[in-house]
A and B are shown apart, each in its own frame.
Chain A
């Protein structure tokens, strides 16, 4: 009996349960197939759409793979120098305390060259949201070692694996900023499964709600993949991420005040 329902009967505007948010542009994402950036972009913009704050939200794009975030997020944006997004966001938010300001940064940008800007924006309790994509590698420049690269992990500048004795240890910057009194919400999420995506979106929503309540800085890390840099298929890279990244960067809220 059910077979009498034709596909055309289902594919009608009134039956849409999911479509791309209008807070994303129609530009084709510049990311590699299967890259977590796309989902992170989408859920951030879905939150902006659902909160009805597109006209009050300004994003700060980083340097790295997501340098072109402004091509995809359908909002006003500034593109910051490498690592400086939290300072740019600070300057903007201080003169527009009622607008929503967020940065979107990768691990090289946020946890290496921009460490000072990150730590001090967090420490001042700037009333902004930081979305931090951690895939343990510099993607844009060709897969070099990042501050978050795991011990033993190969990259184009650690071709034999990261030797912690020589190159130091991966930095858990999220745990670090959780210690600062200026942060009100610090969480680590992922976007590799439907369930994880839904959770990550809830976290981003909470971060933006915190900003509305002037609670301080909300810091949302998303552990992600870099299948091109890791030299794996997208599906394999997600599996590798679960097996190797998650034990070092465990999921969940670190601080929620």
Chain B
């Protein structure tokens, strides 16, 4: 039986991490995600599952601690909020280059700079286009509920290890702070050192046994031909992820005249917009990308055949809208409505925007 609890999104991430057999969490406090580490240090999973929990001296140290542990084939994660993720981008680029699977959680706040501690969705570009230096991609999952905060921990690790690639949960301060009921997964055993050696011994740095080639995890290749070859390999892997791992949710899309595209907190608001539209006789659908990378371009492109216009709703000045426009290829108007700096759009505002930007035209 799955256990039902009322929890904050941040707590759900922490509890799910313990339950899905994560080996290590390294973090640094920052609002609005501090509950992740607070919960873990209160639960003391090192006494039960053996999971390591360590407060680092900075986000930079956190992500590189993840590098070390994940490089040993262990399920390792960190969490932070926007400014902290910026600090981590150095390490994330190295993790992607060295193909080390791990999980990074970004409970976004409004920016730029120190910005605000209120929720935001302005790190979309950073999460989906790379963020750090070099050509790399992260598998990006966007939860829209406390339930998904919990569920996506396990899913992220599954995908990360499947493709030897870092995964990122792109949440926001609202989902992180809100309390909802959540069905928690059953406790999974952590892998033993022997199991890790068996599963990941072909790449993880766990000690070179006499009969085996040594494992080197590096993102450096001084010979350009070989670095290019490595990049081709990464790109082929990313293509495979794009082919196999796109996830999205369609709500009320059949017979919709107008389409909303929104993820995370904004997608929740848009569900209310659908209802308000109905009351006004406007038939509105919603496509909610669950994976922000790989992006569900095809389904958005197809939806453009049946609707008069698309509105993206983001707590940013308009970032995902660029990907939606690329997908739609100009078939129908694509507009953006956003609030930012910690502001959350109301359903009325969104419906107004839809009417003005798409119907009023």
- Measured CB to CB, the residues of A under 8 A from B are 54-58, 60-61, 67-68, 70, 74-81, 84, 87-96, 99, 116-117, 119-120
| B287 beta carbon closer than 8 Å to chain A | no
| B67 beta carbon closer than 8 Å to chain A | yes
Compute how far the CA of A80 lies from the CA of B206 in the bound complex, rounded to whole angstroms.
Answer: 16
19 A-B residue pairs with CB within 8 Å: A55-B207, A55-B209, A56-B207, A57-B207, A75-B214, A78-B68, A78-B218, A87-B60, A90-B61, A90-B68, A91-B26, A91-B66, A91-B69, A91-B71, A94-B69, A96-B193, A116-B61, A120-B56, A120-B57
CB distance from A119 to the nearest CB of B (A): 8
Compute how far the CA of A61 lies from the CA of B90 in the bound complex, rounded to whole angstroms.
Answer: 16
| B289 beta carbon closer than 8 Å to chain A | no
A-contact 0/1 string along B60-100, CB 8 Å cutoff: 11101111111110101000000000000011001000100
Q: Is the CB of A90 within 8 A of B67?
A: no
Q: Is the CB of A120 within 8 A of B206?
A: no
Name the residue of chain B whose CB is nearest to the CB of A80. Answer: B64
Q: Is the CB of B74 within 8 A of A88?
A: no
Q: Is the CB of A55 within 8 A of B210?
A: yes
| B307 beta carbon closer than 8 Å to chain A | no
Compute how far the CA of A174 lies from the CA of B74 in the bound complex, rounded to whole angstroms.
Answer: 32
| B219 beta carbon closer than 8 Å to chain A | yes
Q: Is the CB of B23 within 8 A of A95?
A: yes
Compute how far the CA of A99 lies from the CA of B71 in the bound complex, rounded to whole angstroms.
Answer: 14
Chain B positions 191-217 with a Cβ under 8 Å from a chain A Cβ: 193, 205-210, 214-217
Q: A58-B206, A76-B205, A91-B24 given as contacts; is B64 within 8 A of A70 (CB)?
A: no
Name the residue of chain A whose CB is nearest to the CB of B70. Answer: A91
Compute how far the CA of A57 lies from the CA of B69 in the bound complex, rounded to whole angstroms.
Answer: 14
Residue among B71, B94, B219 with the highest chain A CB neighbour number at 10 A:
B71
8 tightest Cβ-Cβ pairs between the two chains A and B = A91-B68, A91-B65, A92-B68, A79-B218, A87-B64, A88-B68, A84-B64, A120-B57
Total contacting residues, chain B, CB less than 8 A: 41
Question: Told that A87-B60, A91-B70, A117-B64 touch, could you supply 15 new A-B pairs with CB distance under 8 A?
Answer: A54-B210, A55-B210, A57-B207, A74-B214, A78-B216, A84-B61, A91-B24, A92-B72, A94-B69, A95-B52, A95-B72, A95-B76, A96-B193, A99-B206, A117-B61
Q: Is the CB of B207 within 8 A of A99?
A: yes
Contacts of A95 in B (CB 8 A): 23-24, 52, 69, 72, 74, 76
Q: Is the CB of A76 within 8 A of B57?
A: no
Contacts of A68 in B (CB 8 A): 220, 222
| B54 beta carbon closer than 8 Å to chain A | yes
Compute how far the CA of A99 lies from the CA of B26 in the bound complex, rounded to whole angstroms.
Answer: 19
Q: A55-B210, A56-B207, A58-B206 given as contacts; is B67 within 8 A of A78 (CB)?
A: yes
Secondary structure of the A side of the interface? helix
Contacts of A119 in B (CB 8 A): 57
Q: Is the CB of A89 within 8 A of B209?
A: no
Q: Is the CB of A94 within 8 A of B60?
A: no
CB distance from A37 to the nearest CB of B (A): 17
Chain B positions 13-52 with a Cβ under 8 Å from a chain A Cβ: 23-24, 26, 52
Contacts of B56 in A (CB 8 A): 87, 90, 120
Contacts of B208 in A (CB 8 A): 54-55, 74-76
Q: Is the CB of A91 within 8 A of B64?
A: yes
Contacts of B98 in A (CB 8 A): 78-79
Compute how far the CA of A93 lies from the CA of B67 in the bound complex, rounded to whole angstroms.
Answer: 12
Contacts of A89 in B (CB 8 A): 68
Name the residue of chain B whose CB is nearest to the CB of A75. Answer: B208
Name the residue of chain B whose CB is nearest to the CB of A79. Answer: B218
Name the residue of chain B whose CB is nearest to the CB of A89. Answer: B68
Contacts of A61 in B (CB 8 A): 218
| B58 beta carbon closer than 8 Å to chain A | yes
CB distance from A248 to the nearest CB of B (A): 28
Compute how far the CA of A96 lies from the CA of B69 in the bound complex, rounded to whole angstroms.
Answer: 8
Compute how far the CA of A168 lies from the CA of B99 in the bound complex, rounded to whole angstroms.
Answer: 39
Contacts of B69 in A (CB 8 A): 91-92, 94-95
Q: Is the CB of A88 within 8 A of B65?
A: yes
CB distance from B209 to the nearest CB of A (A): 5
Q: Is the CB of A79 within 8 A of B57?
A: no
Q: Is the CB of A116 within 8 A of B68?
A: no
Q: A95-B69, A96-B206 given as contacts; is B24 within 8 A of A79 (CB)?
A: no
Name the residue of chain B whose CB is nearest to the CB of A60. Answer: B68
Compute how far the CA of A91 lies from the CA of B205 in the bound complex, rounded to whole angstroms.
Answer: 12
CB distance from B34 to the nearest CB of A (A): 19
Residue among B98, B209, B216, B222 with the highest chain A CB neighbour number at 10 A:
B216
Compute how far the CA of A92 lies from the CA of B26 in the bound complex, rounded to whole angstroms.
Answer: 11
Compute how far the CA of A190 lies from the CA of B210 in the bound complex, rounded to whole angstroms.
Answer: 31
Contacts of A67 in B (CB 8 A): 220
